[in-house]
Amino acid sequence: MDTAITRAGPADLDALSALFDAYRQFYGQPSDLPRARQWLRERLRFGESVVLVAKRNSATVGFVQMYPMFSSVRTAKTWILNDLYVDAEARRKGIARDLLAAAADFARTDGAAGIALETATDNAAARALYRAAGWQEDATQWYSLAFG
């Protein structure tokens, strides 16, 4: 069974919103489908992110969402791979790896210098996936400042 990966558009919004809501729940957020849909609709409408969706048998089973960034030092565009999610019933079928490859292809075609992502150090499954797909871990220290 092949996985088709395409850039999300308005026709994908309902199915994508359900997956995005599940993704947010995975990270401890309460279910809020209207909020998920609104967030995605605005990002897509204003071109603030790129979302690639994975489909199998016409069912949307996964997505990756990337946000553009710019490196002053490299004087180049980069992408932040912020969200990657595959429906629980569709996991262990290579979909996440396909989404990572599609994200890399998109960024290369876009002329970006690279893609960055973060994941929790205790997320062993994700870290193994990224390493197997050729991503490199580094010792860069990230700091954050939260508002609210």
Q: For the chain, which residues make up each domain, given as ranges?
A: 4-132
**Would you place residue 145 in the very low, low, confident or very high pLDDT band (cuts 50, 70, 90)?**
very low
CATH code of the domain made up of 4-132? 3.40.630.30
Is the per-residue pLDDT at 112 higher than 50?
A: yes
Which of 28-32, 80-84, 117-121 is predicted least confidently? 117-121
Mean pLDDT of the chain: 90
**60 strand-pairing partners:** 55
Q: pLDDT over 90 for what percent of the chain?
A: 68
Which residue in 56, 70, 44 sits closest to 99, CA to CA?
56
**Would you place residue 116 in the very low, low, confident or very high pLDDT band (cuts 50, 70, 90)?**
confident
CB atoms within 10 A of CB 21: 21
